Amino acid sequence: MTLSFVGFAWRNVWRRRLRTALTLCGIGMGIGAFVALVGFSRSFEHAWLEMYENAGTDLAVVQKTFLNTSVDQSVGPTLLKIPQIARAAPMVVNMMAVTPEINTLVYGWKADTFEFSALKILSGRIFHDGQQEVMLGELLAGSLNKKVGDTLDLQGSSFRVVGIFRSGSALEAGAIIMPLDELQQLSSLTSKVTAFHVQLKPAPAGVSPQEWEQQAENAVASELPGLRAVPAAQRAANNQLVALAHAAAWGTSLIALLVAALGIANTMAMSVFERTKEIGVLRAIGWSRRRVMGLILVEAAALGAAGGVAGTALGWLALHILGALPQTASIASTTLSTSTLLDGLVMAMLVGVAAGAVPAWRGAQLSPVEALRHE
């Protein structure tokens, strides 16, 4: 029977159950959108990193300018002359529609690239350079119901499926890998590549791996002006697709969160108006303005937190639905990081407090006498 400040706030929130439930739905959807979209973009970034790490890629050599992914393929021999570099694999990445519903990532590799070391061939073989052949990730092969020996139409050309592979990265498991020259032709990128994936030689004794990597980056910048060598982790975080996914996720989420915030603000404003007399009573029995304001803010934060829990569950569900749909399975990972979940909850509470600030201030400013007279 002990009444706590937070318990009192929660009782107030729960007094208008239908209104609270509807507000929670609004917040839940906003936070759900945040968790699903930002979670998706983060897992997308993580999948890129996983792909680089599995293949043993240390650096990616790309153009300095954002959105310009076109690197001249002829720089390959120059890269190999840099003493720190062991291997430099040219690669192209693109996104193509394989059916009207399914878009997938398409990688162009050389048949002898070191990046194949991260894949397990489940059936068939690696393609031959210069041949109209493709390999399919097992997830995509399942979605398309394709097996070795079948054909696949891409941009009006017919390719033979020569291998099905398994990869630890969702970005490869749902992707197509084909000869570099064939994808260059399909993408109108003759003698251009998206990037060179670089493996470094082991660092000599007395030089730390970080120093060795830095030396390689400096050498690339000095030998090939206009290009830069980016560590794999940075490349995973900053590549164009990930950057666009992050931007789209945050942009959409912020709009959804704004709508949720307006919902809370409306609920709290209504609640303060309806409880004007009660606020007068609280002031009369000794509550300070600050304590009244604190109560309304705690109510708003409680609404936000409860919506955050609901939204996180909703986001998790949405991500699993995305992961199960053939249209998005190849690019959606259902992994949700703890940081995304915590971000969702913290964001929900902050949105609650921010949305409750004006109603709380107005409630605290009420004159006790005027509030007591309110009908």
Partner 1 sequence: MNSPSVPSNDAAPLLELRDLKKSYENGRIEALRGVSLTIAAGDFLAISGASGSGKSTILHLLGGLDTPTEGAVLFRGQHVGKSQNGVPSIDLDTYRARWVGFIFQSFHLLPSLTAMENVQVPMLGNKAHSHHREGRARALLVELGLEQRLRQYPSQLSAGERQRVAIARSLVNDPQVLLADEPTGNLDSVNSDKILQLLAEIQARRGMTLIMVTHDPDIAASAPRHVIMKDGRICN
Q: Which residues bind partner 1 (CB under 8 A)?
A: 1-5, 8, 11-12, 14-15, 277-278, 281-289, 291, 294, 367-369, 372
Return the number of the residue (2 or 190) whose C-beta is nearest partner 1. Answer: 2
| CB 254, min distance to partner 1, A | 34
Residue 284 Cβ vs partner 1, minimum distance, rounded to whole Å: 5
Toward partner 1, which CB reaches closer, 14 or 66? 14
State the Rg of the chain over Cα. 28
* Beta carbon of residue 364, minimum distance to partner 1 (angstroms, whole number): 11
Q: Which is nearer to partner 1, 12 or 113 (CB)?
A: 12
Comparing CB distances to partner 1, the nearer of 191 and 288 is 288
Tell the smallest beta-carbon distance from residue 348 to partner 1 (Å): 24
Beta carbon of residue 2, minimum distance to partner 1 (angstroms, whole number): 4
CB count in 10 Å sphere of residue 302: 20
d(CA 361, CA 344): 26
89 HSE (CA, 13 A, CB side): 25
Please give the angle made by the CA atoms of 371, 372 and 373, to the nearest 5 degrees: 90
Give the C-alpha separation, 307 to 94, whole Å.
Answer: 38
280 versus 359: smaller Cβ distance to partner 1: 280
User: Least CB distance from residue 18 to partner 1, whole Å?
Assistant: 15
Residue reference for tokens 């703890």: 338
Report the distance separating Cα 95 and Cα 252, nearest Å.
22
Q: With the C-alpha atoms ordered 325, 331, 334, 340, is the resulting torsion angle positive or negative?
A: negative
CA 96, 99, 105: angle at the middle one, nearest 5?
30
| CB nearer to partner 1: pick between 8 and 66 | 8
Provide the 8-state DSSP code for 82: S
